[in-house]
Amino acid sequence: MKEPSGVMPTPLILASTDCIPQLIRERLEDVVLHGEPILLAAEADLDSFGHILPVWLLATSSHLVVAPAVPEMPVKGPYDYKAISDFDIHPSIGSTSLRLFLKATPVELVRFTNENRERFQRVLVQLKRLKEGLPIQQDALFLPDPHFCSKCGLILPAIGAPCAHCVQRKAAFSQMFSMLAPYRWTMLGLFLLMMVGIALDMLPPRLTKVLVDDVLTTRQHADWLFFLVATLAGAALLRRGIDIVINWLAPKVGTGVTNDIRKRLFQKLQEMSVAYYDRVSVGHLMSRITNDVEVMHGFVIQVTQGFLVNVFLTIAIGVMLFSMNAKLAILVLIPIPFVFIGTLFFWKRIYPNYYKYWDSNSKLGSMLNGVLSGIRLVKVFGQEKRETGRFFKAADYVRETRIKVDTKVGIFSPLMAYVFGLGGLIVWFVGGRDVLNGTGITLGTLMAFLGYIAMFYAPLGSLAMFSNWVTQFATASQRIFEILDMPSEVQDDPDAIDCPYISGAIEMDDVWFGYDPYNPVIKGVSLKIEAGEKIGIVGRSGSGKTTLVNLLCRFYEIQRGEIKIDGVSIRRFKRPEILQHIGLVLQEPFLFRGSIKDNIAYGMPDATWEDILNASRAANCHDFIMKLPEGYDTQLGERGAGLSGGEKQRLSIGRALLFNPRILILDEATSSVDTESEQEIQRALRIIGEGRTVISIAHRLSTLKDADRIYVIDSGRLAEFGTHEELMERQGVYYKLVKIQTELASLELD
C-alpha cells in the first residue's frame, strides 16, 4: 500500500474524448448520436447487477448514451434530453446510481461504488446544464474534492479539518507542550531543583569510595569517618527536602494543564454543530472529558517529575561511570540494545490493547448513560435483568481488556529487570576479578561503581517503561485532540456581522440539504415569510418539516441555495447573534435539573423576577407553578421529572418567550399533550404570537386554521401553499391530510 493511503481516486471524468477506450468508440459507431461531439465522458464501475466492470456514460449536447465495456452487454440509449424530465443520484445499499426520469419513471443510467459518488454528483450537475442547453463547466468538474487533503490526498475527518498525515509530526506532543507554556516558570523552577537533586544523588557513591578505600581498608584517614557519614546524612536530608518541593510543585502543573484541557474540550463541544452530536455518542464524549484527560494528568506528572529526572540522572551517572573505569562502563551498556528492542516490541504489541481498553471503557460509559437515561422504559418493559446482563457483559469486557494490558506489561517489566540485572552481574564478575588480581581497580571503586549501576538501571528501566506512559498518552491525546482540532461544520465567516435587531422576515431560495449530502431531504424549497406573519408547516412524518426549521436555526449548513433573514443571508450573521432572535419550542421539552425559575430563565439568566412572571403568565404556566408549595423555586428532577407533559411544555414555551424572540418556532409543540392542555397552550400562543413571526409545525391541522399561510412539505419539496381555505379548495396534499384527520376524528368519536 502506498503512503498515504485513503486518497481520492483518480478522476474518471474525461474532458477529452481522445481518452475514451477503443472498445467504447467502436460500440458508439452503432449508436445514432447525430454526429455530435461527446462533451462529457464518465466511467462507472458497476453494471446493474452488481458486477464490477467499466461502464461509460457519454453525453453530447442533445443526447446521452451508456456503453458497458463488454460487447455482450447492450448499449443504453441514446436518450434525448427533450424526453428527460430530470436526473438524480439514487443511493441503494452499498452502491449508488445516476438515474434519469422519463416523465415520472426512473431509469438507471449507471451504477457505481460509493467512492464515485462525488464525481457523479458533479456529472449530474453538468447533465442538468446540458439539458437546459447550457455549456459544461469544466472547472466545476475538475475542482479538487474538499473531503481530501489537497497536499497528500488523505481523507479529512471533516471538510476544513487538519490532515492527520500532514500535521501528525507536530500533533499531540507539540500541542501538549504548547499547553504547558503558561506554566513555564514553575517548570523552570522544577528543572533547577531536579538538577540540584541529581548533583546530590551523585555524591553518596563517591563518598562511599573514599570511605572504603581511604578510611576502612587502608585506614589512612580514619578521622574522616564522622565527617563523611555526616555529609552523607546531610546530602540525603537535602535531597528529600528537594523531593518534597518537587512533589508540591509538579502536581500544580499537571492539574493546571488537565484543567485547561478539560475546559477547552467543553468549550469546543459547545461550538460543535448538531450534526456532530448526530454522529458521536454522548457517553464517548463524557469518557473523553473525564477519563482521557486524567491520563494526560499522569503523563504531565511523568514529564515533569519522572522522565526529565531520569534522563539527566542517566547522563550524569554515565559520565561518572566512564570517568571511574571506561572498561567496566562499556560492559554496563551491554543490556541497553535489549532495552530498546523490548521497547519497540512493547509499542507494536501493546498499543492496540491500550486502545481496546480505553474504547471498551468509554463504551461502558456510553451504555450506562443510555440505560440510566431511559430507566423508566427499562422498568416499564421489565428489562432490568436483560440490561443488568448487558452491563455485566460490558463490564467483564473492560476487565478482560485491562487484564490483557496488565498481563503484557507484567511480563515485559520483569524481563527487562532481569536484563538490567545481568549488567550488574557482569560488573560484579569482571570488576571482582580485577579487585582480586589487584589490576587497576580498588574495592572502593567497585563498590562505588555498583552503587552507580543500581542508580543507572533504575532510571533506564523507567525510561523503557516510559513508552508505557507515552502509549497511554498517545491514545488519550489522539482522542482529545481529535475533538479539539475538529472544525465545526457550521462556521461563521471571518467578516460575519452582528444583528442586534431583526424584524423577522424570512426567505428561503432554492434550499437543498441532506444529512448525507448525496441524499437530499430538502429539495429546492423556496418560500417567503413577512415579518409578523403566522405560518404553518405541515406534511407527513419524515417529509422534512423539522429539517427546514433546523436549517433556519443554522444547526446544519445548507448545501445549496440561500436562507435570508431580513434580506440578509444567515451565513453573513454571527450564529449566536441570529439565535438570539429565534425561540424554539420542541415536541419533547427538555428541562434541566434545577428550579423552575432557573429553567424559565435559562436563555436569559439576567431576567428580572417580573420578566419571569410575565413570561410564565403569558405561557399559561403561572397558575400551575403557583399551586406548587415552593412556587417558582420548586426543584425539578432530571428532564423536568415531577411535572406533567403539558406543564413541561408550557414551561418551555415560557422559556422561549422570556427570550423575547422575533421569530418563534413551535415544532409539534402541542402534539404530545392532552386536549385540554393543548387548548390552553394554543390560547397562550395566540396572545404571545402578536408582533412576532411564528412558524408552527403541527400534525393536528386544526391548530393551523388561523395561520396567514400554510406551507405543505412533501418528500422534501414544497408541494403547495396558501391559507387553509385556499388549500382545501385546491384539493391537493393538504386537503387529503385534512380529510384523513377528519375521518380519524370521527372514528375516535364512534
Partner 1 sequence: MEIDNKPIALKIEGVGVNFLTLGRVEIIMGFDNFLYVVLKSGPGKAEPTYRGVFAALCFPVTCPHQYVSLRYIDKSGEEREIGVVRDPSEFPAEVRRLIAASLANYYFEFEISRIFKIELRHGLLMFDVETDHGPRQFEMYWRGDRAQNYGKDGKVLFDIFENRYIVRDVNKLLPDERELFTRFIYW
The residues that touch partner 1, with contacts defined as CB under 8 A, are 1, 3-6, 46, 48-50, 52, 92-95, 104-108, 111, 113-115, 117, 154-155, 157, 164-165, 168, 279, 352, 356, 359-360, 363, 478, 482, 540, 714-715, 717, 733
Q: How far is the CB of 272 from partner 1 (least distance, A)?
A: 16
The nearer residue to partner 1, 77 or 204, going by C-beta atoms, is 77
Question: Cα-flanking dihedrals φ and ψ of residue 436, to 5°?
Answer: -65, -40
Question: Cα-flanking dihedrals φ and ψ of residue 111, to 5°?
Answer: -120, 145
Q: What is the CA radius of gyration of the chain?
A: 37
The nearer residue to partner 1, 279 or 376, going by C-beta atoms, is 279
Q: How far is the CB of 50 from partner 1 (least distance, A)?
A: 5
Strand partners, 105: 102
For helices 293-301 and 224-271, the axis angle rounded to 10 degrees is 150
Are the beta carbons of 496 and 657 closer than 8 angstroms? no
The nearer residue to partner 1, 95 or 175, going by C-beta atoms, is 95
Written as one letter, the residue type at 626 is M
Q: How far is the CB of 107 from partner 1 (least distance, A)?
A: 5
What torsion, rounded to 10 degrees, do the Cα atoms 666, 667, 672, 676 define? 20
The nearer residue to partner 1, 598 or 714, going by C-beta atoms, is 714
Q: How far is the CB of 542 from partner 1 (least distance, A)?
A: 9
523 sits in the region (left: phi over 0; alpha: psi -120 to 50; else beta) called beta
Q: How far is the CB of 553 from partner 1 (least distance, A)?
A: 26
Are the beta carbons of 609 and 568 closer than 8 angstroms? no
The nearer residue to partner 1, 162 or 561, going by C-beta atoms, is 162
The nearer residue to partner 1, 353 or 550, going by C-beta atoms, is 353
Please tell me the distance from the alpha carbon of residue 94 to that of residue 227, in angstroms, as a whole number: 83
Q: How far is the CB of 360 from partner 1 (least distance, A)?
A: 7
Q: How far is the CB of 338 from partner 1 (least distance, A)?
A: 25
The nearer residue to partner 1, 50 or 144, going by C-beta atoms, is 50
Please tell me the distance from the alpha carbon of residue 657 to that of residue 684, in angstroms, as a whole number: 11
Are the beta carbons of 626 and 657 closer than 8 angstroms? no
Strand partners, 41: 14, 58
DSSP-assigned states of every residue in 122-191:
HHHHHHHHHHTTPPP-HHHHHSPPTTB-TTT-BBPSSTTPPPTTTSTTTTHHHHHHHHHGGGHHHHHHHH
Give the three-class secondary structure for 583. strand
Q: How far is the CB of 104 from partner 1 (least distance, A)?
A: 7
CB atoms within 10 A of CB 18: 7
Q: How far is the CB of 297 from partner 1 (least distance, A)?
A: 23
Please tell me the distance from the alpha carbon of residue 661 to that of residue 354, in angstroms, as a whole number: 49
Please tell me the distance from the alpha carbon of residue 335 to that of residue 417, in angstroms, as a whole number: 10
The nearer residue to partner 1, 165 or 700, going by C-beta atoms, is 165
The nearer residue to partner 1, 182 or 352, going by C-beta atoms, is 352
The nearer residue to partner 1, 522 or 643, going by C-beta atoms, is 522
| Cα four-point dihedral sign 715, 721, 727, 729 | negative
Strand partners, 693: 663
Report the Cα–Cα distance between both ends of the chain, in Å, rounded: 70
The nearer residue to partner 1, 683 or 736, going by C-beta atoms, is 736
The nearer residue to partner 1, 479 or 597, going by C-beta atoms, is 479
Grid coordinates standing for 373? Answer: 437515561
Please tell me the distance from the alpha carbon of residue 562 to that of residue 554, in angstroms, as a whole number: 12
Q: How far is the CB of 52 from partner 1 (least distance, A)?
A: 5
Q: How far is the CB of 700 from partner 1 (least distance, A)?
A: 21
Q: How far is the CB of 164 from partner 1 (least distance, A)?
A: 4
The nearer residue to partner 1, 276 or 659, going by C-beta atoms, is 276
Give the three-class secondary structure for 562. strand
Please tell me the distance from the alpha carbon of residue 714 to that of residue 711, in angstroms, as a whole number: 10
Q: How far is the CB of 34 from partner 1 (least distance, A)?
A: 24
Nearest of 374, 365, 392 to residue 290 by alpha carbon: 365
Are the beta carbons of 532 and 539 closer than 8 angstroms? no
The nearer residue to partner 1, 46 or 651, going by C-beta atoms, is 46
Are the beta carbons of 570 and 554 closer than 8 angstroms? yes
Consecutive H or E run containing 695 = strand 693-697
Q: How far is the CB of 172 from partner 1 (least distance, A)?
A: 12
Strand partners, 86: 101
Q: How far is the CB of 359 from partner 1 (least distance, A)?
A: 7
The nearer residue to partner 1, 279 or 627, going by C-beta atoms, is 279
Question: Cα-flanking dihedrals φ and ψ of residue 557, to 5°?
Answer: -95, 130
Consecutive H or E run containing 347 = helix 336-373
Grid coordinates standing for 77? Answer: 440509449
Give the three-class secondary structure for 497. strand
Q: How far is the CB of 722 from partner 1 (least distance, A)?
A: 18
The nearer residue to partner 1, 117 or 724, going by C-beta atoms, is 117
Please tell me the distance from the alpha carbon of residue 93 to that of residue 96, in angstroms, as a whole number: 8
Q: How far is the CB of 599 from partner 1 (least distance, A)?
A: 33
The nearer residue to partner 1, 168 or 635, going by C-beta atoms, is 168
Are the beta carbons of 284 and 360 closer than 8 angstroms? no
Please tell me the distance from the alpha carbon of residue 103 to that of residue 105, in angstroms, as a whole number: 6
Q: Do you know the residue count of the chain?
A: 750
Are the beta carbons of 551 and 565 closer than 8 angstroms? no
Please tell me the distance from the alpha carbon of residue 294 to that of residue 300, in angstroms, as a whole number: 10
Q: How far is the CB of 412 from partner 1 (least distance, A)?
A: 18
The nearer residue to partner 1, 283 or 654, going by C-beta atoms, is 283
